[in-house]
Each structure stands twice: as C-alpha cells, then as structure tokens.
Structure 1
Amino acid sequence: MSKALVLGASGATGRLLVKLLLDKGVQVIALVRNAGSLANIIDSNGQLDIVEAEISTIPDQELAKLLAGCTSVFSCLGHNISFKGIYGHPRRLVTDAVAKVARAVELVQTDHPIKMVLMNTTGNSNRDIPEKPPFSQRLVVALLRLILPPHVDNEQAADFLRVQIGQDNHKLEWVVVRPDGLIDEEQVSDYKIYASPIRNPIFDAGKTSRVNVADFMSELVLDSDLWEKWKGKMPVIYNI
C-alpha cells in the first residue's frame, strides 16, 4: 500500500488531497497545526494519521521518522491571505519546508526515491525551458516580487527543486504543479495538463478547481507512467 505525507493538509486544497488519497487507498500522514482542522475527514479504513506539528519547527530527524515508509510527500502549503500571513514570518514558509523535506529524505533509508509533489502557481515560470511570458506579465511579476513575499516564496521553492535537487537525485524526485486561477468545485471534472501556461495568468487567467488540482497531484504518484511523463517538470493544469 502507498503511504504519503501531506504538508498543508488543513488548507483548502490540502483537505481535498487528503480525502482523495484516502479514497484511492493511500495511507496518509497529515501534518497540521491543529488536528481539529481535519475532524470532518472520513477515514473509514483507519488509514489517516494526523500529526500536530508545524513544519517550520519540526526537527529534521522527526520529519525523517514521518517520511520513513512513505513513497511520496505532498506540499499544499501556502501563506494565509491576511496582512500577517503575507508580510509576517515565516516569509519562506514553502521554500524552507521543501528544503527541510530534502534534508530529511537524506536521513531515510529507502530503496527507491521518494516522490515530492509541490503545489505552486502559473505566475511562476519554469526556467528550465524557454517559457517566454508576455511583457505585461513579466512587468507585473517583477512588481509582485517587490511587494508580495509569498510570490517570491513560490518561485524560490520551485527553484530549490530545479537547481538544488535537479533531475538526477537518487533520493528525491519531484513535480511542481501549477494551477491557474483557483476556484471551488465539489467534484472532480475534466481537466487538461500542459507543459507551460497557454494563457496569461495575470490578464487572461484560466480556471482550475482545487479538487482537480488535488486529483492530478494524487494521480501523479499513483500512475507510474504519468509520473515519468512529468517528473522534474512543472506542468500546468486547467479546467476544461
């Protein structure tokens, strides 16, 4: 049976991901600040283990213990939409979490690389390939880097995987999932995956339901062909 660690499990997308993983027969360790945030998750098979801890303070050795036996780790971490959440600390919440996972993975004895799926944004370009956003988008993104720390955090988190982990790491493999404008829907619907954005995420954003993001993230680690197709890449997901 597959076993996954989910960071940011109490968030809007993280909760959906936990539910979908459980529905698909995956054993889940959910790392949350407050166990009550997942009180309504139905765990009919006893496959959900809720751990109360903050990723920013948990020691690497403790995180490694949680990762032991896991085949995958998901990050749905994000900054709260409030003044404190945007401009307060930790400003590198996602980046520091990704780096901590990478350090913890080095402490885990495993015969196969652990798969990491990072939820990100179409506002972040994949600098491994020749993506050429229009000037209007590049201008706005440059301004966002100056005034919105969470955007910089998203960019740096993806860059850590691209540059520090790279394509040939024998302990950690990764995919960075980039949804466009997030919306709430109850059920998984049809969606399409692209290597790069097909719309301007600033002035002509598409729509991506959170439940579709969660479904694609879960399928990445359950479908070996899908993983091989997108491993080391930053796929973009849109609702159809």
Structure 2
Amino acid sequence: MAQLLVIGGSGRTGRLIIGEALRRGHSVTALVRDPAAVVPGDRLTVVQGSPLRSEDVEEAMRGAQAVIIALSNIGSSDWPWARQVSPPDLISNAVRVVTDAMRSRGLRRIVLLSALGAGESVRSVPAGLRWATHFLRLGTVYADHEQADAFLRRSELDWTIVHPTVLSASDARRPVVSSPPGSWPSSLRIPRCDVAAFLVDAVDDEDLIGSAPVISSGPRRS
C-alpha cells in the first residue's frame, strides 16, 4: 500500500479520490484550504494550506510516494457565464509548485486530473463542445488546463494526465473505457466516482506512465 498526497482533496472529485484510496488500504495526506471540507478517516492526514505555497506543499509531501492533483478552476457556479472565483492559473501554478517539491524530494510519480479538450485530447472533442471550451469562462479554465498539461509533460517526472469526458454526479458504477488522445470516446459522460477510481488505479499502473488517456463510461454490465 502507498502513501498518497492528494492535492484538491476537498473538491467534488477529490473527496471521492480520498475515499477510494482509503478503502483500498492506502494512507492519504490531503492538502486543503479548509480541513472541515474533508471527512475524517483512518490513515488520513489533513494539512491546511495552499498548493501555491511551496512550504505548504513541502510539509504535506513528507513521506509521500505518489501525488494525485485533482484541482478545479472554479467559478461561482457551474453555469458557463458564472463569475471566476479561482485564480485563472490556479492549476498550472500548482503543478509548477508541486513538481518543484517532488524533484527536491526525489519523488517521481504524479497523476493529474485534466479535462477533455486540453492538450492532445482536443482531437477527441465534438466540434460543438470544442467551440464552447474557447468562450465564456470555459476559455479561462481550458487555458489553465492546457498550461498545466504542457508543464507536466516537460517535467521529466513519471506523469500520467487523465482527460475524462463530462463529469456526472451519478453513483452508478460503470466500466471505464480508456482511449488514446484522438480516438472517439465511448460516451460523453462519466461518473466522478469512476474517475476517482481510475486515478487511484493509475498510481500503480506503470503502463500509464508518460501517457494522457481519455476516459469515458463503457456499456452497463448486464
């Protein structure tokens, strides 16, 4: 079992990542701004701080064997016209801080939750959705993901960048289909719980090192 550092563990997907990792017997450290947003658990250590502050990241990284970044560049709501709340370069700057800390500690394994439409995965996006990602507040979000993806690729760490299709709140688990960038996803939605499970799986999957899969939901099991 591994000691995992989860960055963004208080978010909707981040909380599921923590729960999934703990259920599998991993130990988890979560770096969060508000510890009250994380449900306490055995083998869970919560560190209050910011992923943009190197001293906070260094403290949270003690003993870690791998890092999962699941930050969201959020607005005041999910509405595309909503007011921007996060710094526009939150994720890309956090990736820079985290990878610097990893290099200083000799830590290599990192998994980044990105978005369909960032990096090479833009070739897997329907034209209408591709248009939408460059306008409204989504343009800011995708610019941040693009920079984060590009920076991590240049880091020379053992990285995996995961591009899920549109996230849903469904708790109905379905098989996850992993496809290379440019291929058509099997569906345009995927439950957050399945994304969380894939990210935890990815930590130990050496075949995913240096890859950026697109993940989507497969057919329901009969």
Q: TM-score, normalised by structure 2?
A: 0.85
In the TM superposition, what whole-angstrom CA distance separates every residue of 1:22-42 from its partner, at most 9, and x where no partner exists?
Answer: 001111001111111113x5x
- Given candidates 48, 59, 76, the residue that maps to 1:65 is 59
Measured against aligned partners, the alpha-carbon deviations of 1:88-116 in whole angstroms (never above 9, x if no partner) come to: 551100000000011111221x4xx4211
**Paired residue secondary structure (2:110):** strand
Q: Which residue of 2 aligns with 1:3?
A: 3
**Letter in structure 2 aligned against 1:26:** H
8 Å contact from structure 1 (residues 188, 215) kept in 2: no
Give the whole-Å Cα distance in 1 for the aligned partners of 2:46 and 2:132. 37
Residue 145 of structure 1 contacts residue 151 of structure 1 at CA under 8 Å; is this kept in 2? no
- In the alignment, structure 1 segments of 5+ residues that lack a partner are none
Residues 140 and 3 of structure 1: CA distance in aligned 2, closer, same or farther (over 3 Å): same
Distance 1:134 1:182, change over 3 A: closer
Gap change, CA 1:178 and 1:132, over 3 Å in 2: closer
Q: Distance in 1 between matches of 2:165 and 2:142?
A: 14
The 1-side partners of 2:82 and 2:187 are apart by 24
Match of 1:206 in 2: 188
CA contact (8 A) 2:187 2:217 kept: no
Deviations 1:131-169 (A, max 9, x none): 74689369616733996211100111001112x21xxx3
What SS does the aligned partner of 1:82 have?
Answer: coil
Q: CA deviation at 1:188?
A: 3.4
Q: In structure 1, what residue type is equivalent to 2:159?
A: W
Deviations 1:24-66 (A, max 9, x none): 1111001111111113x5x2xx20001111222x2x2442232
Matched residue, 2:44: 48
Q: Kindly indicate whether residue 198 of structure 2 is the aligned counterpart of residue 216 of structure 1.
A: yes
> Whole-Å Cα distance in 1 between the matches of residues 36 and 212 of structure 2?
33
2:175 aligned to which of 190, 193, 198:
190
Within 5 Å, give how 1:59-208 maps onto structure 2.
Answer: 60-82=54-76, 87-88=84-85, 90-108=87-105, 110=106, 113-126=107-120, 132=123, 136=127, 140=131, 143-144=134-135, 148-162=139-153, 164-165=154-155, 169=156, 172-199=157-184, 206-208=188-190
Residue identity over aligned pairs, in percent, reads 25
8 Å CA contact 1:18–1:28 kept in 2: the answer is yes
Q: CA RMSD for the aligned pairs?
A: 2.8
User: 2: distance between equivalents of 1:25 and 1:63?
Assistant: 23
Give, in angstroms, the shift of residue 187 of structure 1.
4.8
Distance 2:133 2:13 in 1: 27
Unaligned runs of 5+ residues in structure 2 are none
Q: What letter corresponds to residue 94 of structure 1 in structure 2?
A: I
Question: What SS does the corresponding residue of 1:30 show, helix, strand or coil?
Answer: strand
